[in-house]
Structure 1
Amino acid sequence: MSLTTTYNDMKVEQIYTGCIAHAAYYIENNGVAAVFDPLREVHPYIDRAQIDNAEIKYVFETHFHADFVSGHLDLRKKAGAEIVFGPGAKPAYEATIAKDGQIFEVGNYKVKVIHTPGHTMESTTYLLIDENGKEHGIITGDTLFIGDVGRPDLAQHVVADLTEEKLAGYLYDSLRNKIMPLSDDLIVYPNHGAGSACGKMMSKETTDTLGHQKKTNYALQNMSKEEFIKTLLTGLTAPPGYFPQNVLMNIKGYESLDTIMDRATQALTPDAFELVANETGALMLDTRDAEDFAKGFIPNSINIALDGNFAQWVGEMIPDVKQEILLITYPGKEEEAITRLSRVGYDYAVGYLKNGFDSWRKSGKDFETIKRITSEELEKQMKSGNPLIIDVRKKSEFDSEHIIGAINVPLNQINQHLAQFPKDKPFVLHCAGGYRSMIAASILKQRGWKDFVDVIGGFDDIKEHTSIKRSEYICPTTLL
């Protein structure tokens, strides 16, 4: 999704990617363009500049990102753009390390560097100034979101001395001394929106005025540094495991997406697919929808559907970004799957099943299924017995409302709590809508569980179509 805002004679195009809740930015003036925090695939930015007959002069990075691999290196290679980081950044490749207050010219526009450490130490906000000298807005990266601020616990996974308390203190100072003194009419352009794991309560809105944020954002209210640190750290869940690996890729560099695509777009017959799987130990990742996966899938394959928060759940459930991956997709969706894997650093897809799962089925090879039931069928089971129900939603979702007697094992903790899934009696799986529970079901199948069912439509369908009793209180059997 692309959103262009014009204010004070300056155009800023926000290029928003909903599946990872990411916003990149494009500005252009007088034949010169700049891109801020680009995604891994850079052709949309190059194509955009070509429409304007413009040269991409700069690619500005607000910080070393954790939740995605940036496209800055490919933009430098393909467009000749100069990479710019804020003060203190130490990339392992050629880049300009800006000074606090330094001005860069993009045509007649100006971009002013404002060093705002806290989320990370090199975190930088870029102040946009139009051709008339009027300050227009701030591209804040993960320093300031709409309704939230960046989490201060990521850098310690790379540098141990940078504790979350220290970083929260730096963030407090950056917000009070660098951001809040700026004009209320500035537009805030953050790097993420709701759904990102880089904050804990981001708004669905993707821009706002700084003045409104000063009134409504909890982190910008009047409080001491100690109160701020306590507030910021309260309720902060552990970051996804792939975050530190993405940070290191952004610091050290990575292969071009072209190289990754060449390696991954190998169409394999069922026999060749099976041979590669056996020889390499590659993980078989099925990206079809839950409904189709349940009807038939290759034994030992894992389901993470492309039509959802695909990249985020790949990052949560596959510990090593260097894991070799074999893809099963709907025909024509192979390149999309490879691209979305690469956005979060999973660069080692080694091929895909030609013509998708239908070719496997037609070849006569073995396949498995997963039994699913409707919410109404679950209600009948509960009236006639006491089935074990395992809810794989997040703890916060479970605590808000859940089926009385259900056990909570959040999906991202499933590998640490496999013992909670019995093999000697049946059980029922559900999440909110069926996406996450099918991921869980595929993992359990791979690990040898057989006697369970998945609820079609999940908790949302249970609420809408049944009278199953639900509780708004934490169930005593909650595990996490």
Structure 2
Amino acid sequence: MTKLKERKLFVVLFLFAALMPEFTGWKREHFMRARLSAFALRSKEVQERPIRISSKELYERKQKREKILLLDVREKNEFEEEHIPGALHFPKSQFDRKDPALMEILEKTPKDEMVVTYCGAGHRSGWVAISLRKMGFKHVWNLDGISFWKRYRFPLVTGVIVKGEEEPLRIGTEEAWYMYRSFTDVLFVDVRDVKEFEEGHIEGAVSIPLTELEGRLAEIPQDKDKVFYCSGTDGEGLCSSSLSAARILIHKGFPFGKIKVYEGGFGAWKSLGLPITLGDRGS
């Protein structure tokens, strides 16, 4: 039954319950049953409304480094144009079709984890939020919309979504820097050779060369956001070693929503004067 039909039925039942006893001689118990039916419909409608969270509150929670699965339910072109840092592209159109990649994200997400959905103004994301609650997720919130986020001038980033069902999100220097300076639990993974790492690397990064990755998976936490990088962009615009490393983790069952590839790599990071350090990987 649609929302509009439920509202109309509520009005009809309420008026019927209120007026008919006067003309039909209904017993009081019939009168009360009709009223209860009307209010049951209204209660069901209220329960299905998504719980709202303001952009300001979300920003404050992110600043406190709370663990939040942030889902952008807009379409690809909208997401690529701009999105909230750390958001996972989770298009409603694909969710409606029960896209396997999106279903896998949900299967690997604990039911008690905080989930925030958003779109432009909260309409598409509201439907997704309701659906997630029906699927058993206990803490689902619907953002007031990216329009409000922009009104507060909170950070936005751009990102390109690559083809394929389970490809990691590629991020640029702006988002990589935002994650680096804003969250202490983001793990930067340098997949270059040990010698390259020792000659200079992003400060705080761990060295796990691509050739050693499969033997060191136990060292990589599944529940943390991970940013993979290598030397820098190649002729096709992507550092291929970092992408390969990210794909290996995805195929090994790591949640791909927690995996990102920094396209610019160490070269772009260093050229902008961002924090780097020298030394072996044991220091």
TM-score (norm 1): 0.26
From the two aligned structures, give the one with the greater helix fraction. 2
From the two aligned structures, give the one with the greater strand fraction. 1
TM-score (norm 2): 0.41
